[in-house]
Structure formats: C-alpha cells, structure tokens
Amino acid sequence: MFYSRVKMMGEVGLELFDKKLYLQAMDILKTGNEKKAKRVLNMARKKQFKENGIWKLAKRFFGKDVRNRLTGSWTKSPIIRRNLVTTKGKEILITQLIGTTSSPIVGIGIGTGTVAPAAANTALGNEYERAAAVVNVSTTTTTNDSVVFSKSFEFTEAVSITEEGLFDHATTGGNLFARHTFSSYDVDDQDILTITHKIRITV
C-alpha cells in the first residue's frame, strides 16, 4: 500500500483601513491611475498590532491581550498568520475530494471570541458577522495549488474583532472549516477590515 504525503496549509492576512480613504482609492483605481490609488490606499491603512511569542504565551497562560514593545510591534503592513483546520474541516475536505457533498467553502466569519482555536471547534467563539467570500484559485508554488477566500467587512460601530473562520455556509449555520484568533482589531465606525484566507496544498 502506498501513501501520498499531502499537507494542507492555511494562512490568513488582515488589514485595517479608514473607509472613506479606502473607497476613494478604489474609485481612483477604476480610472486606471494605479500609482495614485496605491498612494491613497497606503494613507487609508491603519496601524495593527503584530504579536510575537511572548504575546502568545501571555495569551495562552493568562488570557491577556498585552500589547507593548515586549509582546510585539505596531505596523501598517499586512499581517499573515497561520490558521487551524478543524476536525470537521478535514472531513469536509475528504467529502469534497470524493464528491459526496455539494456544500463548498463559501463564507468568512469574524467574531469576538478569544479562546484559542482547537481541532474540535465547530463554530467561532462569538460570531459577530459572516458573509460570502470572493473565491479565487491561485498559484503559490505550483500551478493552481492554492485557493484564496477574501472579504472586506465594513463597520458602523466600534467593536474588538479577535477571531476569523471559514465556513461551508455564507450566512449562518453550516460547518467550520478553519479558525484562528489574534490580538484585538479595535475597529471604529467607518472602518474596513479586509481578510484574505489562503489554503494551500503541498506534497
């Protein structure tokens, strides 16, 4: 009997923007002026906290989201984090491979739960919003070895977003494929949080 060593890797990128400048940049991009659109988009970016190992230890053992120079740094650049594929997510993948399901991964959810991800998770800790993702096949190492799920969430109130996940349903219910938590994104009214969740298959 022969086995193929296949690995599934998940990466999540998050960026926080001022909504007014973000939409302005998108309008400029439609005119074809990419240079100006990029400049305005950079102005729209808001600082976010990039955690290090010390932050993760404090979060794991004390449940504290400590943000200072010892636990990380502030940046406007996109932050890429690894996710955790749930036990149910592995089952979803197998049923997709053998064609016994008609429920593809279509939704991105965000929430305010802070408990660390676990394989047994079937939902976000405290789901705040979910929406249909824009889905595209992409190339990371070999042709079409990745799929990218993306969504921009617009806010009309202040809220602290601390988790994200992929689902096989775009609105409510369904199954949780993957989840991850992070240092709080303290979004304000008129902010936009963009999420890019990539799943890559490697051999």
Residue 203 has pLDDT above 80, yes or no: no
> What's the mean pLDDT when you consider all of the chain?
91
**pTM for this entry:** 0.88
Percent of the chain with pLDDT over 70: 97
- Band (96; pLDDT cuts 50, 70, 90): confident
18-134-95 Cα angle (round to 5): 140
In this predicted model, which residue has the larger pLDDT, 85 or 2? 85
pLDDT tens-digit profile of 139-164? 998 899 899 999 999 999 999 999 99
